[in-house]
Structure 1
């Protein structure tokens, strides 16, 4: 419990720093004027495009899960939406744990294995964000040393993670033996069996990386997802009195989403807004207009999927207590066989939900 409060405190502190950096020097009445003068009808196509991107995310996750279980997209889509709702209302991207938790309850898929696929998703997302930054460079050069530093660190982290995952997927038994060796020497006896069980299931979740065709499909789908999200940025921009190139929005998208990998308060407060305002300001957009745009964009990304996630949560009778348990990692303890859904709280009754 204390660790949960500590994590929340750290996230809130980081968000507060980003908010202070974002609002420093802004004339808030000008931001309010920008919000009042916006043409909010442009949010309708932006939200529609975003949900197309969420459907593409569902298809990508289905592709990663196929070595373990084929799940119809209409059943998988609500699980994805509930997970993104969890990211929006809990700190530290706890919605990823929630997504794995709900998938176990609904489809009897091991949490450890599904978490491996979710981590792979995040790695590919990070790599595509970096790709967007590098593609945009000839048309919208990086305007500050801080952003350059973020790109360099992000490149090292995501490329390093991808190399490790490729290696594990290529020779899973060798890495499992290595895990057993370290576990026997470093982990207390009572924890060895759960650690090894988690490792086996996590390695199983990387099976999709063993296929060249699978890798290509995952990468291309990731590019499509983030291009669609940049189109959303463009639609929201049309509601405001400024214009930057699509490449500048790609750069903003990349930098903002790299920043949201940092711990923050729920809903990426601050870590989304601060970098977004900073990037647009450095490209000549009035800071007050940039702030009004970024706040509107953030709301348009946060509110629709959060409301839909709550709707699906009610449909499957998922309680907030269940979400809190999943967000705290309480669902990670699984028996060796896939009957883990039997441990689920009775409130869900293992009911399937359809989109």
Structure 2
């Protein structure tokens, strides 16, 4: 990763941390943490891991045209990917799980990366659906959070919808019309790519297209979308359980809105673990619901930790059991690219 990209992420996280801590009374914040009922984290973590298992099933479903791999085999690889996303910048865990899948199952990295990108597009569409579904709820808020306003969220949601739905449409068309897409790829490679890397680019692009085969059937695409909705509803369930550890209550729809906003914000470059980009919008939204800032901050911090630590530790455990042969896999990645 280029050094400037890393420091841009650090700077963005620092800005969001400033917005998080601005005006906070630390004594009230610590008191909130000391009095929280942490047993509520247990069912929250359990529900979250069910969601991770569904993610593994979704990835298994998308990879079926390439190779049939059981969900049980996919779950450790998905956990390793989460670990990578949580400790490396720029969501490097996505590349990590593609490399681990190559090592363990022999699936080409370029093809598995295509399925990963499709996953992220479906995730983005569902997150935007959560936001749009709850825009009337947001409009009823009477207190300005100071960080996210109604108009800003609506504008960001519209822009995001254009980006994610547009990308999804491109991938669906590429999957439904493979011969036309292959001709386009070959034309672009022949006319736009320098000769010295033309065949490498062509090969990578064609292998990438094989990862889109799960989208050729409308029924399969709908199944992937339905599964994605289940995944994010389960994650919102974790938000709901953790809420019960703190002295406040908002509706499940409000937590869906929070889930959508914070996960869309974490697509921004940031320090590893989405420091700041997760916390600031979450706290801001709860403050907009008239939740005291100290309680909102305590809840968001504990929620962030509960989302980060269990899956990171599990991913590290699975990785240590069969670590990646980095030299061999990086050479494979370079050859595919």
TM over 0.5: yes
Q: Is contact 1:42-1:239 (8 Å) kept? A: yes
Match for residue 192 of structure 1?
198
Q: Secondary structure at the match of 2:334?
A: coil
Give the drift of 1:77. 0.6
1:155-209 deviations in whole A, cap 9, x for unaligned?
1111111111111111122222222222222222121111111100111100011
Match for residue 56 of structure 2?
58
Q: Is contact 1:129-1:257 (8 Å) kept? A: yes
Q: Secondary structure at the match of 2:139?
A: coil
Match for residue 333 of structure 2?
332
Match for residue 235 of structure 1?
241
Match of 1:159 among 159, 165, 179: 165
CA distance in 2, matches of 1:199, 1:215: 21
Aligned length: 329
CA distance in 1, matches of 2:302, 2:331: 35
Cα 1:335/1:282, change in 2 over 3 Å: closer
TM-score (norm 1): 0.89
Q: Secondary structure at the match of 2:2?
A: helix
Matches within 5 A, 1:39-118: 39-118=37-116
Q: Secondary structure at the match of 1:67?
A: coil
Match for residue 293 of structure 1?
299
Give the drift of 1:335. 5.5
Give the drift of 1:334. 3.9
CA distance in 1, matches of 2:135, 2:332: 43
Q: Is contact 1:84-1:95 (8 Å) kept? A: yes
2:308 counterpart of 1:302? yes
CA distance in 2, matches of 1:142, 1:97: 41
Give the drift of 1:331. 4.9
Cα 1:331/1:13, change in 2 over 3 Å: farther
Q: Is contact 1:87-1:267 (8 Å) kept? A: yes
Cα 1:30/1:168, change in 2 over 3 Å: same
Give the drift of 1:153. 1.7
1:128-165 deviations in whole A, cap 9, x for unaligned?
11111122234443752222222122111111111111
Extract unaligned runs of 5+ from structure 1: 337-355
CA distance in 2, matches of 1:177, 1:28: 61
Cα 1:330/1:29, change in 2 over 3 Å: farther
CA distance in 2, matches of 1:150, 1:140: 14
Matches within 5 A, 1:12-23: 12-23=10-21
Match for residue 119 of structure 1?
117
Cα 1:65/1:287, change in 2 over 3 Å: same
Q: Secondary structure at the match of 2:273?
A: helix
Q: Is contact 2:43-2:241 (8 Å) kept? A: yes
Q: Is contact 1:15-1:269 (8 Å) kept? A: yes
